[in-house]
A = this chain, B = another copy of it.
Amino acid sequence: MLNFGFVNQKNFSLLTDLYELTMAQIYFDKGINDVAVFEFFVRDTENRNYFLNAGLEQVLYYISNIRFEKEEIEYLRTTGKFSDEFLKYLKDFKFTGNLYAMEEGEIFFPYEPVVVVEAPLIQAQILETFIINTMQISILIATKALRCYSVAKDKLLVEFGLRRAHGTDAGMKAARNSFIGGFAGTSNVLAGKEFNIPIFGTMAHSFIMAHNSEKEAFLNFAFKYKENTIFLVDTYDTIQGVKNAVEVAKYLNLKTFKGIRLDSGDIITLSKEARKILDENGYKDATIFVSGSMNEYKIKEFLDNNAPIDGFGVGTELVVSSDLPYLDCAYKLVEYAKKPKIKLSPQKITLPAKKQVYRIIKEGIIQKDIITLFDEKLEEANPLLKPFIINGELVEKNYPSLNQIKEKSLNNFKTLPEELKDIYKKYEFLPEISKSLKDIMEKLKKEVS
Contact = CB atoms under 8 A, between A and B. Distances in A.
Interface of A: 1-9, 11-12, 14-23, 25-27, 29-30, 32, 36, 38, 57-58, 60-62, 64, 72, 75-76, 79, 81, 121, 125, 128-129, 132-134, 136-137, 140, 160, 162-173, 176, 187-195, 199-207, 209-211, 220-221, 224-225, 234-236, 263-265, 316, 320-322, 325-326, 332-333, 336, 341-348, 394, 397-399, 448
- Oligomer copy total: 2
* Most chain B CB inside 10 Å of its own CB: which residue of A20, A29, A194, A342: A194
Q: Nearest 8 CB-CB pairs, A to B?
A: A18-B201, A167-B169, A19-B201, A166-B166, A206-B333, A132-B163, A14-B190, A169-B169
A265 B345 CA distance: 8
Nearest to A230: B19
A333 B19 contact: no
B8 A6 contact: yes
8 contacts: A5-B173, A5-B176, A14-B189, A15-B172, A21-B189, A128-B163, A128-B204, A166-B173
A418 to B, nearest CB: 30
Contacts of A17: 160, 162-163, 187-189, 201
Nearest to A72: B193
A244 B7 CA distance: 40
Contact of A264 (B30, B202, B347): B347
A140 B26 CA distance: 37
Contacts of A264: 345-348
